[in-house]
Amino acid sequence: MPQLNTTSTADISFMLLIFFLVTSSMDTDKGLTSQMPPPEDSTEQQDQEVKKRNVMELQLDADDVLTCNGEAISADELTKRVEDFVANVSDAAELPEKSEREVHLLGRCRVSDRHIITIEADRQTTYNAYFEMQNAIARGYNNLRDRLAKSRFGHVFASCSQEERDAVTMVYPKRISELRSER
C-alpha cells in the first residue's frame, strides 16, 4: 500500500514557526515611568528643611478618599491643583517658590524646582484608586509641559526632540515623594 512521504513535514513546521515568530509583534506593557528610590541606608539619613509653601500633601486612605492638604478632592480636581501648584503663574505666597535659571533652548526662565508633592497611601487602599491618583498627577505635569512645548517649540511635549524635552523638563521637573503609611 503506498504511503505519503512525511519526512519534510517537520522542516516545514519549523519554518512556519520561525516565520510567525519573526513577523508577529509582542505587546509590551506600559506603565508609569517612575524610578524607585534606593533602599534606605540608616547611616545616610538626611533631613532637609522644606518650606510649607513648597509642599503639596496628598493622602489616600483605606476608603480610597483622596485628600489634598486635608481637603477631599477628586482625581480631576487633583490634575488642576497640580498644574496650579507646580506652575505658580501668579507667584502667590502660598504656592512654591521659583528659581531663576538659564535653560538651554529657552534662555533665562523662572523654574519650578523647589516644589514637592508628597504622597501617603494607606496599605488598604485599592490599586485602582492609587493609580487614578498617579495618573491625575502625571496628567497635571503633562499638561504643563505640553503648554510650554507648544508655546516655545510649536508642538506638544511628546513630539519634542530629546534636547527640547530636557529643556521643558528642567522648567517643570517631577518632584514626587512617597511616604510609607504607618497605619
pLDDT in tens, 4-51: 777 788 889 999 999 988 888 877 666 666 655 555 555 455 556 778
- Answer whether residue 155 shows pLDDT above 80: yes
- Mean pLDDT score of the chain: 87
- DSSP one-letter code for 29: -
Residue type, 147: R
Mean pLDDT of 116-123: 93
How many Cβ atoms are within 10 Å of 74's Cβ, its own excluded? 11
For 6-45, letters b (16+ CB in 10 Å) and e give eeeeeeeeeeeeeeeeeeeeeeeeeeeeeeeeeeeeeeee
pTM, rounded to two decimals: 0.75
pLDDT confidence tier of residue 182, bands split at 50, 70 and 90: low
Cell representation of residue 91: 507667584
First to last CA, the chain: 80
Mean pLDDT of 108-118: 92
Q: What is the pLDDT of residue 8?
A: 84
Q: What is the pLDDT of residue 3?
A: 80
- Answer whether residue 99 shows pLDDT above 80: yes
